[in-house]
Amino acid sequence: MNLLKIENIQYSYGKNTPFEKEVLKNISLEVNANDFIGVIGHTGSGKSTLIKICNGLLKPDKGQIFYKGENIWKKGFDLKHLRFKVGVSFQYPEHQLFCETVKKDIAYGLVNKGVPEEEQESKIRQVLKIVGLQESYLEKSPFKLSGGEMRKVALAGTMVLEPEVLILDEPTAGLDPKTTKQVYESLKEYQAKTSSSIIVVSHSMEDISEYATRLIALDDGNILLRGTPAQVFSNTERLNDMSLDVPITTSILSMLAQKNPSVNTNIYRYNDTKAEIIRLLKDVKSIE
């Protein structure tokens, strides 16, 4: 059974005011255990609004949302419980750190959730390991950490609640490539340990294509493309119409394919691209 099912969602801001604006037009999406869904779309396409719809922070004007088959807007549904199960990390989550130690910040949600104190410690240590921070960080002030470390602490604070659906809005915005990789690897590790589903909004086609198993591309409140990264990135023209690019790996292969039709352009991951280029070089050598 799917964890989350979104059916024909419509949402407008500023309802019944002169500023009314429909930002989600007709969105349907199913999220299953172990999915790693990448959400792409230019600024203003509705990505962050969709996330808020997913965990019940915004109520759609039309359409329905089911969590494990239950309509989350039916009377009596426990929305607080849902927000522990569908955990969201918003853009720049480090802005929400406020406790005097890393440990207290990560524990904040656990306390809210009513997790007994004796269980908190081991959960905190586990997530700290997943995000790649040493235990010595627990007593440090979050405000004395680097930007990347702060981001990891914030991420740990969301993961520690063990959401079954973990949603992240631009989790690596502003991070250097090394920290970006560490953050994505920690998401993969979290998923491997919990069989959760992960939804990531990203501007980087390279990052998203490296990690996502499915992609949705939003444009002006509609999902215009969906499928595996290979399927979505085979639509170069449509992506360009949406002001989106294919990953640099795919465009390099497309350029090579203009000279050599045997080049496989249906590749987007870094290592696969590397292997294809090595294959081509070997072919060239064997001709010489």
Q: How far is the CB of 98 from Mg ion (least distance, A)?
A: 22
Instruction: Determine contact, residues 38/215, Cβ cutoff 8 Å.
Output: yes
Nearer to Mg ion, 48 or 273 (CB): 48
Instruction: Determine contact, residues 40/202, Cβ cutoff 8 Å.
Output: yes
126-158 CB burial, b ≥16 within 10 A, e <16 = ebbebbbbeeebbebebeebeebbbbbbbbbbb
Instruction: Determine contact, residues 245/268, Cβ cutoff 8 Å.
Output: no
Q: How far is the CB of 140 from Mg ion (least distance, A)?
A: 30
Q: Which does 161 bind (CB under 5 to 8 A by kind): Mg ion, ligand ADP, none?
A: none
Q: How far is the CB of 243 from ligand ADP (least distance, A)?
A: 12
Q: How far is the CB of 92 from Mg ion (least distance, A)?
A: 11
Residue 45 interacting with ligand ADP (CB under 6 A): yes
Nearer to ligand ADP, 49 or 265 (CB): 49
Q: How many CA atoms lie within 13 A of 280 on its CB side?
A: 17
The single residue among 3, 29, 40, 41 that binds ligand ADP, judged by CB under 6 A, is 41
Q: How far is the CB of 232 from Mg ion (least distance, A)?
A: 19
Nearer to Mg ion, 203 or 226 (CB): 203
Residue 180 interacting with ligand ADP (CB under 6 A): no
The single residue among 3, 23, 198, 205 that binds ligand ADP, judged by CB under 6 A, is 23
Binding segment toward ligand ADP, per CB under 6 A, in 46-54, 124-132, 137-145, 186-194: 46-54
Residue 44 interacting with ligand ADP (CB under 6 A): yes
| Nearest residue to Mg ion, scored by beta-carbon proximity | 48
Across the chain, the runs of DSSP E, i.e. the strands, are 4-13, 21-31, 36-40, 62-67, 70-71, 86-89, 165-169, 197-201, 214-219, 222-227
Residues in CB range of 175: below 8 A, 6 or more apart? 147, 148, 151, 183
35 to 74: interface string for Mg ion, x by CB under 5 A: ------------xx--------------------------
Scanning residues 47 to 106, which ones bind ligand ADP (CB under 6 A)?
A: 47-49
d(C-alpha 188, C-alpha 199), whole Å:
12
Q: How far is the CB of 52 from Mg ion (least distance, A)?
A: 10
d(C-alpha 208, C-alpha 61), whole Å:
30
Structure tokens at 54: 């997913």
Helix (H, G, I), strand (E, B) or coil at 160: coil
The residues that touch ligand ADP, with contacts defined as CB under 6 A, are 13-14, 21, 23, 41, 43-49
The residues that touch Mg ion, with contacts defined as CB under 5 A, are 47-48
